[in-house]
Amino acid sequence: MPIDLTDALASLREGRQSAAALLATNLARADAPACEHIFLRRFDAEALAAAQASDAAAARGEPRPPLGGLAVSVKDLFDVAGMPTTAASAAMDDAPPATRDAPAVARLRAAGAALVGHTHLSEFAFSGVGINPHHGTPRNPVTHALDGLDRIPGGSTSGGAVSVAAGAAWAALGSDTGGSLRIPAALQGLVGFKGTARRVPLGGCLPLSPSLDTAGAITRSVRDAALLDSVLSGAPLEIDARPLSAWRFAITPTFMQDELEPAIASAFERALATLRSAGARIEERALPALPRVAELQTQGGITAAEAWAWHHARLAERGDRYDPRVALRIRRGASIAPDAYQALLDARQRWIHDMKTSMQGIDVFLSPTVPLQAPEIAPLLHSDDLFFATNARLLRNTAVVNLLDGCAISIPCERPGELPVGLMLWAPASRDAAVLGAAARVEAALAAGAR
């Protein structure tokens, strides 16, 4: 496991490091080529003040705050007092400064986070690819170090994930409407936790689809994910600590495993074999309702309908300043009449009931987070057809959990030297403690199996 936020906090407690020194390293990495295009605006002075306040408390013999004055980045959807919130869109470039922090940001600040900046994203968080024509697209630093190619970072929390992968931050605040935390985590060898939607308040966050939006974090480890969830939710979970052999895991043989790239299929099967060797019980469980998820996404589904409701007036005034691909997806919602939208919501509730019924008796389901590894950026810039097909593939597995109103986490399952591959653990709503507990056991088993 790489050095994570929990390790950094331990080094502070033991007096081996200062928060200011650790922050200096983060800010130096933020200036490096690997972090090009990841920050829309930096908060260096505020971050340094938080780090110095943590060090001053320690010097007085007082406890450091829970996040210790360590670097955390913020997706440019969340209000930060005194800063504009622009969702990485040219259509929002005259947004006024926020008058107060979003609740999620306020909780990070109160816990002693050194907020280092607003990070890049797919415009208005409406893509799993991470490409942005307005401000440049961050390249995937993990894959670039392996093969030298410019590959996508994943979206929509593209800059947030890169900030963690490249060492500019220990964790990243982001959002997840259809996979926007888990997709970039999977493509960059990180951990992305999408908790049950209502755990973290979404006030002060520009919406995409209020029915599906979730706030959460990208981190370097499962234990860091649990720590950030406790801060963001204000309700620490009692993580389920059963041994691996005490869990009932399941895979569903169709849909989530359809049309996997060979490298994804190989890594997934290897991960399952490693877990079985470590004592995990993994069964196949059919989910007959699962393919019906496509019905909820017809013509853009709930997301397009709700995005259109928020954007239609701005599109009428400034449509030429939107990413054309994002505008096209939002405009699909114009054709969804109120009665059709209500029918989608009703169909979703029936689907959730049917899914939960067929999932009974299983603690956590396992699947590949996404069915492909990070593709190169250049071909996606030049082909709308390829872009939309790739986006749909990236979102396919992760969006199931949002529509289920569930919780999920993506953890790395590739071997050293391989391009990143994500393993997703997922369950219905309010099973966050189980998902985090199982993920901690799975993470440890996979790490032991790789040695």
Q: What is the pLDDT of residues 62-92, one digit of tens each?
A: 999 999 999 999 999 999 999 999 999 999 9
pLDDT category at 199 given cuts 50, 70, 90 is very high
pLDDT category at 451 given cuts 50, 70, 90 is confident
Given the residues 18, 75, 89, 211, select the one marked as catalytic: 75
Instruction: Compute the distance between CA of residue 169 and CA of residue 221 in angstroms, rounded to an integer.
Output: 13
pLDDT at 412: 98
Record the tokens describing residue 203, joined without a space: 């006030």
User: Across the strands, what pairs with 423?
Assistant: 368, 411
Task: Give the tens place of pLDDT for each residue, 208-255.
Answer: 999 999 999 999 999 999 999 999 999 999 998 899 999 999 999 989
Query: What ranges make up the beta strands (E) of 215-340?
Result: 215-219, 248-251, 281-284
Assign 3-class secondary structure to 362-380. Answer: CCEEEEECCCCCCCEHHHH
Active site residue 156: yes
pLDDT at 295: 87
Active site residue 194: no
Tell whether pTM > 0.85.
yes
Given the residues 18, 127, 163, 180, select the one marked as catalytic: 180
Given the residues 156, 163, 211, 221, select the one marked as catalytic: 156
Using DSSP, state whether 114 is helix, strand or coil. Answer: strand
Using DSSP, state whether 209 is helix, strand or coil. Answer: coil
pLDDT at 2: 62
pLDDT at 298: 79
| Cα-trace Rg, the chain | 21
Record the tokens describing residue 334, joined without a space: 């114009």
Instruction: Compute the distance between CA of residue 114 and CA of residue 22 in angstroms, rounded to an integer.
Output: 11
Question: Helices H, strands E: what count in the chain?
Answer: 15, 11
Instruction: Give the single-character DSSP code of 64.
Output: P
Q: What percent of the chain has a predicted confidence (pLDDT) above 90?
A: 96
Strands in 114-119's sheet, in edge-to-edge order, are 39-42, 114-119, 71-75, 171-175, 215-219, 191-194, 407-412, 422-427, 364-368, 248-251, 281-284
Query: Cα angle at 83 between 78 and 89, to 5 degrees?
Result: 65
Q: Is 189 left (phi over 0), alpha (psi -120 to 50) or beta?
A: left
Active site residue 180: yes
Instruction: Give the single-character DSSP code of 419.
Output: P
